Amino acid sequence: MDINVVNFAEKFSKLEELHSYKIIAQMNDYYFKIVRAKREFIWHSHPETDEVFVVIEGELKIDLRDKTLHLKQGDMVVIPRGVEHKPSCSEECHLLLIEPAETVNTGDKESDLTDMDLEWI
């Protein structure tokens, strides 16, 4: 069994495209995924699961229906299952997402932004 240390910065240095989700680790049936983002995402929710966002670099805004969260480097948040949210990064941000392997980025919404093509990096 191959057990290796994963360095976040090194993984991001290999990730050339914006908005391309890549898997960096698996814990049981959960994936740790990274993405370089610079966009306004769509309103969506994940009816089956909580979702974790960790900001590795930059700033992330997450609109909820009743307030707006502002995350910076070293911050995380758990978006509970079923809660509508709209993430956005006005400048490029580096995000770590933790969620069940089968979770779709756009949740309950069909969208051009849906990314089902997950590869390891």
Enumerate binding residues for its own copies (CB under 8 A).
1, 3-9, 25-28, 30, 32, 49-52, 64, 67, 69-71, 74-81, 83, 98-100
Least Cα distance to 36 among 55, 61, 64 occurs for 55
- Shortest approach of its own copies to residue 33 CB, angstroms? 13
Nearer to its own copies, 79 or 95 (CB): 79
CB of 112 to its own copies, least distance (A): 27
Q: Give the torsion sign (CA, 67, 89, 59, 28).
A: positive
What are the beta bridge partners of residue 4? none
Report, in Å, the least distance between residue 13 CB and its own copies: 12
CB closer to its own copies, 76 vs 113: 76
Tokens representing 47 are 């009816």
> Smaller CB distance to its own copies: residue 19 or 81?
81
| CA distances from residue 37 to 2, 29, 34 in whole angstroms, order as listed | 30, 24, 10
